[in-house]
């Protein structure tokens, strides 16, 4: 078999030595076309192998900074050697692996020759090459090039790699900002088949971010329009990173690659590992923060402190918001005549969208806290620690990031979470992650929880949020285990997590990150949620009660007024100042309100949504949900924020106190159907039931529509079972 093998590595890794050991006298020296870089070629003919070997110029990187790098890369891409031997200096592993990562990212079949193990050993360093093989996904063969030790094993491995199918390119994840940019660039590249004949899609995007001169030039001459768009994305993200993190994409990419290597080496690859690199301080901090025992405790402490901070400091501004929307509703009610328009504006829009917007301060504080954790690099450590736990539940270390992005700490979004599962290479682990990441407490569930917590657990807000976080993680992990034991059975794959160095977040960066995400929440409330609220308001208003019934209520009111003392009626008709009503007038008022309330409730029941909600009560009663809650939960299929807005509208439309003005949480507490147990049941149901519509679309796009459908059915059944369990057991125990 005649196969072409390239030999690449850092300068002084021992390439020439290995080349000579392999080819003996069968070699000749030429030049790479156009440049004065030696091109040495030779043959390896032994043990049934016949291979053509090319010694590449030594490089530290595959980005087009120097002639050597361009020559090496062009050779790999244009002449397509079947296998590349990456020779690595074992005594200087961290630095050498930097190039290895880039070979793997380029997706070329690679075999690592772990050279100079004699030198490494003499310095007291032992490399676990089997573990490294598993983590990198390519064979790692220890050799001593100078003595020829391991040469045969190496070439046998090369032959095996040559026969194996071409590997998937390695995906290192580069942090939220860059990943967003890459996600934006990838479709542009693949849809236009832009340079994809030569390079992997993601790799091209990365090279644009790295400002790779050669790729930029090639890109411009291939397709100016696409290349302009890619450059624009690069400029945008560069400016953003410059502003928030005071760095630039190239440096960030390098940081994450080193982070990847650093965490790889932390998994017991090196015995006797003396760290002399620039991550020194970070490693010292990590000794404590990711310590086997102290680490998890610190993590829980940080989480609890975050919730304490969020709920303590957001309470006052959330109160202001509530007061503002109550005032707005009152004022507008006073200005408009009774009728559909008033109902739409007050019940549909203000009580609906206002309920969602009222939580902006809380969301803002939560995002601020998360920005600190993320920008400082602590979040990556959380993922690192949880990795061990995740493996036990049949998930992959990369699933941790998908969970956190989906709202693992609270306040994320399952849509980018679902996208983040792209870093998972095993399809089964990926499906399990896709299906369970929506169990996290995303930013849209947060107002639902905050509402119910404020109403029913006012004394323990942070503690409740902490408990809910634990419940969602446990639920997600158990569900994942269940899925991995049933529908997506299969072995688990090894994993390396990036551990970027710690950095002190800049105030400006924190502000921008917080603001970006908060603004998204506000924007969604003002557009999508507003639209759905109005639709649901219509469903809760039409069809209207028959005129006959409306007249019956009007007649009842007239009767009450006729029976009341004239003075009281007059007093009610012209309320003067804030002086308290006389007892007669107060009684009259409350009697009228009871009728009004009954009428509103019946009108709501008569509406389309009311009928559906009432029909569902047959089943939902088991979980303690009344028909109005059903309406809200149905609305939540579209988007979870809608639960709050729909509850707001439903309890406003069907309100017994027709004057409005009470906050939704106060209304719920006053409602006879609601108690602490109901709140628990609703919270758990909301936590686990079907992902919102957009997430289902994403899940379908990332896997297949079958899995999208599965996620709706599976999650809703699970959620309902849990809610029924809680409600029934709780009721039986007398709660």
Cβ contact 145:21 at 8 Å = yes
**Window contacting ligand GDP (CB under 6 A); options: 96-104, 113-121, 443-451, 524-532:** 113-121
The interface with ligand GDP within residues 173-232 (CB under 6 A) comprises none
The interface with ligand GDP within residues 46-85 (CB under 6 A) comprises 58
146 touches, from ligand GDP, Mg ion, none (C-beta below 5 to 8 Å by class)? ligand GDP
CB of 254 to ligand GDP, least distance (A): 22
**Window contacting Mg ion (CB under 5 A); options: 12-20, 140-148, 311-319, 504-512:** 12-20
Alpha carbons within 13 A on the beta-carbon side of 528: 16
Compare residues 18 and 380 and give the one whose CB is closer to ligand GDP.
18
**Reduced to 3 states, what is the DSSP secondary structure of residue 733?**
coil
**Window contacting ligand GDP (CB under 6 A); options: 10-18, 190-198, 606-614, 725-733:** 10-18
CB of 38 to ligand GDP, least distance (A): 10
13 touches, from Mg ion, ligand GDP, none (C-beta below 5 to 8 Å by class)? ligand GDP
Compare residues 16 and 222 and give the one whose CB is closer to ligand GDP.
16
Cβ contact 67:27 at 8 Å = no
DSSP letters spanning 643-681:
HHHHHHHHHHHT-SSTT--S-HHHHHHHSTT--HHHHHH
The tokens for 25 are 């006298």
Alpha carbons within 13 A on the beta-carbon side of 531: 6
| Run of H or E residues at 142 | strand 140-142
Asked whether position 257 contacts ligand GDP by CB under 6 A, the answer is no
In the set 74, 118, 128, 591, which binds ligand GDP (CB under 6 A)? 118
Beta-carbon contacts of 719 under 8 Å, excluding residues fewer than 6 positions away, are: 684, 685, 686, 687, 688, 689, 690
| Run of H or E residues at 271 | strand 270-271
Q: Could you list the residues known to form a binding site for Mg(2+), using ranges.
A: 20-21, 23-24
In the set 3, 8, 15, 599, which binds ligand GDP (CB under 6 A)? 15
CB of 34 to Mg ion, least distance (A): 21
Compare residues 120 and 631 and give the one whose CB is closer to ligand GDP.
120
In the set 13, 53, 379, 719, which binds ligand GDP (CB under 6 A)? 13
The tokens for 619 are 């089943």
In the set 119, 389, 534, 712, which binds ligand GDP (CB under 6 A)? 119
- Over the window 17 to 36, marking each residue x when it contacts ligand GDP by CB under 6 A and - when it does not, the resulting string is x-------------------
In the set 108, 114, 135, 144, which binds ligand GDP (CB under 6 A)? 144
Break the chain down into helix, strand, coil percent, rounded to 5.
70, 5, 25
Asked whether position 42 contacts ligand GDP by CB under 6 A, the answer is no
116 touches, from ligand GDP, Mg ion, none (C-beta below 5 to 8 Å by class)? ligand GDP
Compare residues 17 and 423 and give the one whose CB is closer to ligand GDP.
17
Q: Could you list the residues known to form a binding site, using ranges.
A: 9-16, 20-21, 23-24, 34-38, 55-58, 115-118
CB of 714 to ligand GDP, least distance (A): 54
The tokens for 275 are 């760290």
Give CA–CA dist 465/354, Å, rounded: 22
CB of 13 to ligand GDP, least distance (A): 5
Distances (CA, A) of 671 to 449, 623, 655: 18, 17, 10
**Window contacting ligand GDP (CB under 6 A); options: 143-151, 525-533, 621-629, 705-713:** 143-151
Residue identified by tokens 């091109």 is: 39
Q: Could you list the residues known to form a binding site for GTP, using ranges.
A: 9-16, 34-38, 55-58, 115-118
Cβ contact 249:238 at 8 Å = yes
Distance, CA of 464 to chain centre: 22
The DSSP symbol for 30 reads E
Compare residues 72 and 364 and give the one whose CB is closer to Mg ion.
72
Compare residues 15 and 202 and give the one whose CB is closer to ligand GDP.
15
Asked whether position 16 contacts Mg ion by CB under 5 A, the answer is yes
**Window contacting Mg ion (CB under 5 A); options: 8-16, 243-251, 499-507, 592-600:** 8-16
CB of 19 to Mg ion, least distance (A): 8
Compare residues 66 and 615 and give the one whose CB is closer to ligand GDP.
66
Please confirm whether the linkage preceding 543 is cis (ω < 30° from 0): yes
Compare residues 154 and 185 and give the one whose CB is closer to Mg ion.
154
CB of 16 to Mg ion, least distance (A): 3
The interface with Mg ion within residues 577-636 (CB under 5 A) comprises none
Compare residues 38 and 516 and give the one whose CB is closer to Mg ion.
38
**Window contacting ligand GDP (CB under 6 A); options: 142-150, 213-221, 335-343, 643-651:** 142-150
CB of 111 to Mg ion, least distance (A): 19
CB of 24 to ligand GDP, least distance (A): 15
By residue count, the chain amounts to 735
Cβ contact 4:51 at 8 Å = yes
Give CA–CA dist 482/394, Å, rounded: 9
Asked whether position 96 contacts ligand GDP by CB under 6 A, the answer is no
115 touches, from ligand GDP, Mg ion, none (C-beta below 5 to 8 Å by class)? ligand GDP
DSSP letters spanning 80-117:
--SEEEEEEEGGGHHHHHHHHHHHHHTT--EEEEEE-H
Give CA–CA dist 260/245, Å, rounded: 20
Give CA–CA dist 717/209, Å, rounded: 44
Give CA–CA dist 457/470, Å, rounded: 17
Angle among Cα 25, 31, 34 to the nearest 5 degrees reads 170
Give CA–CA dist 383/388, Å, rounded: 9
In the set 39, 95, 121, 146, which binds ligand GDP (CB under 6 A)? 146
Asked whether position 20 contacts Mg ion by CB under 5 A, the answer is no
Cβ contact 718:477 at 8 Å = no
Angle among Cα 710, 713, 717 to the nearest 5 degrees reads 135
Compare residues 20 and 196 and give the one whose CB is closer to ligand GDP.
20
**Window contacting Mg ion (CB under 5 A); options: 16-24, 353-361, 454-462, 718-726:** 16-24
Residue number with the shortest CB distance to Mg ion? 16
CB of 77 to ligand GDP, least distance (A): 21
Compare residues 151 and 640 and give the one whose CB is closer to ligand GDP.
151
Compare residues 16 and 27 and give the one whose CB is closer to Mg ion.
16
Give CA–CA dist 358/521, Å, rounded: 11
**Window contacting ligand GDP (CB under 6 A); options: 78-86, 115-123, 493-501, 721-729:** 115-123
Count of residues interacting with ligand GDP (CB under 6 A): 16
Compare residues 145 and 178 and give the one whose CB is closer to ligand GDP.
145
Distances (CA, A) of 47 to 54, 73, 158, 354: 19, 30, 13, 77
Phi, psi of 53 (to 5 degrees): -115, 135
The DSSP symbol for 440 reads S
The DSSP symbol for 144 reads B
The binding site for ligand GDP (CB under 6 A) comprises 9, 11-17, 58, 115-116, 118-119, 144-146
The binding site for Mg ion (CB under 5 A) comprises 16
């Amino acid at each position: 078999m005649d196969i072409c093998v390239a030999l690449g590595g850092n300068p002084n890794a021992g390439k020439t030595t290995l080349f000579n050991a392999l080819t003996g006298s069968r070699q000749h020296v030429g030049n790479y076309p156009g440049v004065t870089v030696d091109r040495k070629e030779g043959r390896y003919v032994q043990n049934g192998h016949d291979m053509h070997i090319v010694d590449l110029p030594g490089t530290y990187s595959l980005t087009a900074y120097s002639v050597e790098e361009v020559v090496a890369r062009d050779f790999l891409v244009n002449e397509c050697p079947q296998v590349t031997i990456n020779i690595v200096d074992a005594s200087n592993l961290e630095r050498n692996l930097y190039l290895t990562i880039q070979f793997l990212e380029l997706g070329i079949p690679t075999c690592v020759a772990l050279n100079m193990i004699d030198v490494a050993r003499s310095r007291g360093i032992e490399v676990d090459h089997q573990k490294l093989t598993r983590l990198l996904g390519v064979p790692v063969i220890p050799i001593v090039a100078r003595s020829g030790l391991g040469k045969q094993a190496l070439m046998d491995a090369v032959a095996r790699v040559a026969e194996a199918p071409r590997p998937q390119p390695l995906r290192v994840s580069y942090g939220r900002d860059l990943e967003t940019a890459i996600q934006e660039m990838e479709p542009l590249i693949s849809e236009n088949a832009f340079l994809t004949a030569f390079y992997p899609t993601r790799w091209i995007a990365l090279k644009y971010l790295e400002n790779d001169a050669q790729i930029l030039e090639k890109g411009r001459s291939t397709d100016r329009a696409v290349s302009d768009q890619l450059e624009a994305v690069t400029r945008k993200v560069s400016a953003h990173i410059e502003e928030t993190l005071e760095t630039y994409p190239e440096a960030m990419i390098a940081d994450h690659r080193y982070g990847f290597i650093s965490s790889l080496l932390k998994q017991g690859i090196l015995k006797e590992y003396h760290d002399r690199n620039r991550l020194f301080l970070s490693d010292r901090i990590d000794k404590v923060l990711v310590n086997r025992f102290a680490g998890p405790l610190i993590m829980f402490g940080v989480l609890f402190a975050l919730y304490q901070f969020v709920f303590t400091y957001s309470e006052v501004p959330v109160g202001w918001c509530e007061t503002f929307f109550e005032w707005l509703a009152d004022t507008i009610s006073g200005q408009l005549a009774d009728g559909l328009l008033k109902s739409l504006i007050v019940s549909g829009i203000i009580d609906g969208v206002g309920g969602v917007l009222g939580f902006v301060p809380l969301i803002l504080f939560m995002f601020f806290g998360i920005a600190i954790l993320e920008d400082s690099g602590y979040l990556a450590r959380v993922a690192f620690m949880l990795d061990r736990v995740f493996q036990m539940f049949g998930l992959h270390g990369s699933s941790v990031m998908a969970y956190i992005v989906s709202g693992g700490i609270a306040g994320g979004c399952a849509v980018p979470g679902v996208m983040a599962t792209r870093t998972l290479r095993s399809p089964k682990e990926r499906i399990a992650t896709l299906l369970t990441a929506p169990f996290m407490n995303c930013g849209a569930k947060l107002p639902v929880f905050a509402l119910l917590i404020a109403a029913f657990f006012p004394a323990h807000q942070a503690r409740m949020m902490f408990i809910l976080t634990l419940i969602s993680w446990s639920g997600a992990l158990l569900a994942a285990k269940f899925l991995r034991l049933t529908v997506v059975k299969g072995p688990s794959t090894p994993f390396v997590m990036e551990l970027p160095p710690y950095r002190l977040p800049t105030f400006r960066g924190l502000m921008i990150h917080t603001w970006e995400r908060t603004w998204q929440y506000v924007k969604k409330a003002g557009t999508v949620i507003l639209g759905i609220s109005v639709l649901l308001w219509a469903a809760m208003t039409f069809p209207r009660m028959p005129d006959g019934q409306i007249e019956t209520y009007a007649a009842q009111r007239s009767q009450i007024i006729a029976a009341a003392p004239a003075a009281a009626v007059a007093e009610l008709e012209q309320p003067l100042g804030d002086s308290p009503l006389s007892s007669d007038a107060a009684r009259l008022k409350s009697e009228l309100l009871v009728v009004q309330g009954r009428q509103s409730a019946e009108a709501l029941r008569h509406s389309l949504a009311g009928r559906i909600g009432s029909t569902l009560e047959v089943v939902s009663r088991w979980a303690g949900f009344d028909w109005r809650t059903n309406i809200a939960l149905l609305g939540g299929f579209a988007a979870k924020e809608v639960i709050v807005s729909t509850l707001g509208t439903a309890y406003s439309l069907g309100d017994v106190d027709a004057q409005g003005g009470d906050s939704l949480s106060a209304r719920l507490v006053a409602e006879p159907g609601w108690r602490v147990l109901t709140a628990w049941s609703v919270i758990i149901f909301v936590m686990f039931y079907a992902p919102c519509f957009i997430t289902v679309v994403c899940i379908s796009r990332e896997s297949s529509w079958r899995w999208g459908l599965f996620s709706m059915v599976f999650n809703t059944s699970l959620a309902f079972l849990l809610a029924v369990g809680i409600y029934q057991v709780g009721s039986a125990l007398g709660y």
